[in-house]
Chains A and B, each alone.
Chain A
């Protein structure tokens, strides 16, 4: 049997990255993710790998770019304002098709905001974030166990598709401790990297650049990227469901909010309300199909987020005209409680129940 250990989310994702085989970590401190650089500062040298505290977030993301260009598995982590600073570098890496992992442990915004948990960076994460026509894979852990599992998965996907993968967590998931296991995680099998800058001895030189001025070469790159994104959409869309089959109302939530809403759904069931739950695990690609399917029956959808309504737009796109899509959220570092969500479900469903009667 695998041994359970008590770890906070930030440490769990760090150890998972080490197990996956990260060669180099670059980062600049910011709450609420400081346990990541602290953990890496201790563990990476023990493994004979690179830990480097950069002078800024801009430096950190460009160090990741450099390490990735050299064919190494590299990562950085930060929190909302720091991730904003990294967007230029992420855009460059996506243009150059560099595999890398970026962890965002979201905090309250906008601006420097506060250090409380938030989900306000959904738009930024799922729409590319920087300039230009690109995407990153976005994974949304819903527990401390998944902070480890999905960070491990992030390295696999980054290497497989030559893409930046973002792990989108929040201050609660980063700070909270839960019993987890790491025994099932193994070093990932990496692909050969004939494109890497490893010294051109005995071969033609490789060039990694993102300025493409000749003819239609930039459009060709764009088409190539879109093809990769389509493939990722087909192969990597992930989600979880709970009691959706007969549900009249379906809650949609990711991250820590998914835990809270799932408990609210259970409580609603006890009160006779047929509630169900869909949890997107990949935020990009978004699991639209499952929602489109569920919307073929008459149902109400309720998106719950720690924001003023961002993922709800993807839910609306997926549901189309299939049913009403409502929203409940808290922002600026506030976290909804189970009872609060339950109350909201009741407010929506009691008039519905009355209508049917």
Chain B
């Protein structure tokens, strides 16, 4: 994915505790290891527990001008408030990937691809409710096909604090499960 021009502005959002910041760092690390240019920018400061959290990731094969973006090629949202806040800022032709366990059906304001991933339900089925973020990122990586799933898995030990390293196997599983679900969904879409 390095010979062509590639430029993607991504926002990842949800509420505090859903692993939003960790997800952004995972994606940014994976992009870096894949040889791409990347910036990561978190919402910072006046955040409270239970409030919203978001981070912006820009991935490109050219140097990136600014990590702060106002419209998005990809919106990954894990709760309703974030979906309402950020889906209006999708670029035409962009991707809206949302946690359909928490968010009812969404009609994006622009012509965009929509992936409804029941990431909470899938994570619960796996016996690891907190891995909902991993399900979402797995689905995202599968859909985009830019960064290999294995690269993201390799980055887990980098972005997880040492005390959480015992959760790596289950998070890895959740990531692949999300990818699998997206694959099924996408296959269905092409038939339709």
Contacts and interface: CB of A to CB of B under 8 A. Distances in A.
Contacts of B37: 179
A108 to B, nearest CB: 11
A31 B68 contact: no
Contact of A172 (B25, B32, B45, B67): B67
Interface residues of B, number: 19
Given A115-B45, A176-B39, A176-B41, A4 B32 contact: yes
Contact of A176 (B32, B45, B67): B67
Given A172-B67, A177-B40, A335-B68, A115 B46 contact: yes
Contact of B66 (A6, A31, A256): A256
A178 B45 contact: no
Instruction: Pick the most buried of A178, A256, A260: most chain B CB atoms within 10 A of its CB.
Output: A178
A343 B45 CA distance: 31
Interface string B57-85: 00000001111101000000000000000
A32 B44 contact: yes
B65 A177 contact: no
A77 to B, nearest CB: 16
B59 to A, nearest CB: 12
B23 to A, nearest CB: 13
A304 to B, nearest CB: 12
Instruction: Pick the most buried of B28, B29, B38, B65: most chain A CB atoms within 10 A of its CB.
Output: B65
Nearest to A7: B40
Contacts of A256: 66
Contacts of A8: 40
B16 interface: no
Contact of A179 (B25, B38, B65): B38
B44 A115 contact: yes
Contacts, number: 55
A107 B28 CA distance: 25
Instruction: Pick the most buried of B28, B37, B67, B70: most chain A CB atoms within 10 A of its CB.
Output: B67
B38 A178 contact: yes
A177 B44 contact: no
B108 interface: no
Contacts of A337: 66, 70
A6 B25 contact: yes
B129 interface: no
Contacts of A338: 65-66
Interface in A253-273: 256, 259-260, 262-264
A177 B42 CA distance: 9
A269 B63 CA distance: 16
24 contacts: A6-B29, A6-B32, A31-B44, A32-B45, A115-B44, A115-B45, A115-B46, A171-B44, A172-B41, A172-B66, A172-B67, A175-B41, A175-B44, A176-B39, A176-B40, A177-B28, A177-B40, A177-B41, A179-B38, A259-B65, A260-B65, A263-B66, A335-B66, A337-B66
Interface in A238-289: 256, 259-260, 262-264
Interface string A150-180: 0000000000000000000001100111110
Contact of B39 (A4, A177, A263, A335): A177
Contacts of A178: 38-40, 67
Nearest to A178: B39
Nearest to A335: B68
Contacts of B68: 172, 335
Interface string B1-43: 0000000000000000000000001001100100001111110
Nearest to B41: A176
A305 to B, nearest CB: 15
Given A6-B32, A31-B44, A338-B65, 17 more contacts: A6-B25, A115-B45, A172-B66, A172-B67, A175-B41, A175-B44, A176-B40, A178-B38, A178-B67, A179-B32, A179-B37, A256-B66, A259-B65, A260-B65, A335-B66, A335-B68, A338-B66
Contacts of B65: 259-260, 262-264, 338
A264 B66 CA distance: 11
A337 B58 CA distance: 14
Interface in A13-57: 31-32
The 10 A-B residue pairs whose C-beta atoms are closest, nearest first, are: A263-B65, A177-B40, A115-B45, A176-B67, A31-B45, A179-B32, A176-B41, A260-B66, A338-B65, A175-B44
Nearest to B56: A176
A145 to B, nearest CB: 11
Contacts of B41: 172, 175-177
Contacts of B28: 6, 177
B25 A177 contact: yes
B41 to A, nearest CB: 5
Contacts of B32: 4, 6, 179
Contacts of A171: 44
A172 B25 CA distance: 16
Nearest to A263: B65
Contacts of A259: 64-66
B68 to A, nearest CB: 5
